[in-house]
Amino acid sequence: MSQDHDDHHHDGGLHDGHHHEHGSSHKHGSDLSEMQLRVRALETVLTEKGYVDPAALDLIIEAYETRIGPHNGARAIARAWADLSFKRTLLDDATAAVASLGVTGRVGDHLVAVENTPQVHNMVVCTLCSCYPWEVLGLPPTWYKSAPYRSRAVIDPRGVLADFGVTLPASTDIRVWDSTAETRFMVVPLRPAGTEGWSEQKLAQLVTRDCMIGTGVAKSVAALAAEVAP
């Protein structure tokens, strides 16, 4: 548990381990500024040496804050649900299929889409670091990069699903994909019941980031209605 807690600290000094003990109540504010100052110092040195252009850094950040996120993957999933031939293309060559949607600029090679069925549920992890399909899902959430997820997904995926409030029948096969090379995986979740005839735009609203990682399932029609209602 302590590691989990530490993983959610996004401040904190880098080298003095004593600052990371639990209960050091004064650390938050002072260490936050320490990190800000330290990163600013490095950026200044690199800029003065001519190694980086701060304007290029701004553009990278802007892309991840505004354009590259799970909405890109959701578009592909909604299209796959609505269009069987697109689904076949997606499962056959996800890089080409997602690129054809034109939602996210260029798509890197080696993207692989894996399909959930009533019999098989897929879950994606990177036990060695935090490999993740950035172009379709954006930057990974903190939990995906955390020790609890990376350690348990391969040995106790049902326990991990329970942490997300998801329970599958014991008879459902669970397939965990450890991203140990440059292949990147996204899950094609089961299409929720009661969505026959829905537009792709409406279907995309059912597709969550977590259901494309495999730690969730797509929203139900009732859950979406409850969100939309005041």
Partner 1 sequence: MNGIHDMGGMHGFGPVAPEANEPVFHSDWEARVLALNRAMGYARLWNIDMSRAAIEVLAPEIYLTRSYYQKWLLRLEQLLLDRGLLEADEIAAGHARLPGKPLPRKLNVADVAAVLTRGSYGRAPSAPARFKAGDRVRTRNINPLTHTRLPRYARGHVGTIECVRGCHVFPDSAAIDTGENPQWLYTLVFAGRELWGEGSDPNLKVSIEAFEPYLEAI
Q: Which of 92, 163, 167, 222 binds partner 1 (CB under 8 A)?
A: 163
Give the separation between CA 214 and CA 92, rounded to whole angstroms.
19
Q: Which of 24, 28, 30, 65 binds partner 1 (CB under 8 A)?
A: 65
Piece of the chain touching partner 1 by CB under 8 A; list 28-36, 81-89, 188-196, 221-229? 28-36
> Which two structure tokens, joined as six digits, stand for 196?
């026959």
* Ranges within 30-59 binding partner 1 (CB under 8 A): 32, 35-46, 48-53, 55-59
Interior CA angle at 88 toward 174 and 78, to 5°?
A: 75
Q: Tell the smallest beta-carbon distance from residue 107 to partner 1 (Å).
A: 7
132 interacts with partner 1 by CB under 8 A: no
228 interacts with partner 1 by CB under 8 A: no
Distance (Å) of CA 65 to CA 138, 171, 215, 230? 9, 40, 23, 27
158 interacts with partner 1 by CB under 8 A: yes
* Ranges within 101-120 binding partner 1 (CB under 8 A): 105-110
Cβ neighbours for 219, distance < 8 A, ≥ 6 positions apart: 192, 205, 206, 207, 208, 211, 227
> Would you name the residues annotated as active-site residues?
126, 129-131
Smallest CA-to-CA distance from 73 within 216, 223, 227 is with: 216
Of 152 and 200, nearer to partner 1 (C-beta) is 152
